[in-house]
Amino acid sequence: MSTRVAVVTGAGQGIGKATSARLAADGLHVVCADRVAEAAERTAATLRDAGWSATGCAADVSKDSDCIGVAEVAAGLGEVRVLCNIAGISPFSSGIAQVSEELWDRVFAVNVKSVFLMTRACRSHLVAAGDGAVVVNMASVHAFAALPESAPYAASKGAIVALTRQMAVDLAAAGVRVVAVAPGAVDTPSSYTGARGLGADTQELGFVKDPRRLGWLADPDDVAAVVAWLASPQARFVNGTTVVVDGGMLAQLPVGG
Ligand SMILES: NC(=O)c1ccc[n+]([C@@H]2O[C@H](COP(=O)([O-])OP(=O)(O)OC[C@H]3O[C@@H](n4cnc5c(N)ncnc54)[C@H](O)[C@@H]3O)[C@@H](O)[C@H]2O)c1
């Protein structure tokens, strides 16, 4: 049987790193792609040290040439069955009054255009892999409910929900599923940076590691487990949709204390 390959973007840290480990443990060779070359290689080395199989790959996924390069590396390693578009930036404190055009364009390039570029670059390989190939995109609860002053991020995550649906329709006949995950608050470096941008820390925003609380702060593994399940044949009937993984954050009306 040929090697099953998964491509994970944003693999250098946080949810992308956790997802890389989860897919490697499931027996896939993981191409760990990240804009920060050392971080990509560090994740791959950690997986190899654990006895799994992985390759680090430096790539800025907002650039088409880099996305094509990642796809070529992956195709050279085996059958590309899984693409996880996880790389993203989350600049909060950027409402429509103060966000610059440059920041707006950068958020859309990294968070949305990258999903299109990476999927386009991997498309022929995923189609060749046939039934069972899957693309998992990283949305956010911000696609469904708004925090003040977060316009470009919220709009970019809403676009991922729509793009996921669209790509699922377009790739269905080729046997490729396309799904998304919408996490709530996750314990990653970007969550702390984001909270600081809002003038608070994660605790002050109500994100604590207490599963008895709605919207508790998840571990990256909590999200990675859902991504890995969506990427598996067990989820073969899940397509075109976004799975919310938020510890109940969106379930509660924000009134009544
Ligand atoms: N952390 C959360 O609470 C949370 C919640 C919902 C959604 N998300 C989404 O999950 C994804 C990962 O979030 P995280 O918290 O792990 O982020 P993170 O900042 O901890 O890690 C993101 C990784 O992506 C890489 N990256 C950034 N820009 C890139 C580019 N242009 N090309 C390639 N790699 C790039 C970074 O170098 C980094 O290694 C993002 O799309 C984010 O929007 C995160």
pLDDT tens column, 1-60:
699 999 999 999 999 999 999 999 999 999 999 999 999 999 999 999 999 999 999 999
> Nearest residue CA, atom 7 of ligand 1?
140
- 192 classed as catalytic: no
CATH of residue 159's domain is: 3.40.50.720
Give pTM, 2 decimals.
0.98
pLDDT digits (tens, 9 = 90+) for 132-143: 999 999 999 999
Is 124 among the domain residues? yes
Which tokens in the block code for residue 56? 């680090």
CA of 1 to the centre of ligand 1 (A): 33
Q: In this structure, are residues 17 and 43 in contact, taking their beta carbons and an 8 Å threshold? A: yes
Which range marks the domain in which residue 212 is found?
4-251
> Nearest residue CA, atom 8 of ligand 1?
140
Which tokens in the block code for residue 196? 């600081």
Spatial distance between the Cα atoms of 245 and 183, rounded to a whole number of angstroms? 5
Spatial distance between the Cα atoms of 56 and 53, rounded to a whole number of angstroms? 10
86 C-beta closer than 6 A to ligand 1: yes
Which tokens in the block code for residue 45? 């080395």
Is 256 among the domain residues? no
183 C-beta closer than 6 A to ligand 1: yes
Which tokens in the block code for residue 81? 């069955």
pLDDT of residue 197: 80
Output phi, psi for 44, to 5 deg: -60, -40
Spatial distance between the Cα atoms of 198 and 218, rounded to a whole number of angstroms? 19
Q: What percent of the chain has pLDDT over 90?
A: 86
Strand ranges inside the chain, DSSP E: 4-9, 29-34, 54-58, 79-85, 133-138, 176-183, 242-245
218 C-beta closer than 6 A to ligand 1: no
Report the amino acid identity of residue 165.
Answer: R
Number of domains making up the chain: 1
190 C-beta closer than 6 A to ligand 1: yes
Spatial distance between the Cα atoms of 139 and 206, rounded to a whole number of angstroms? 21
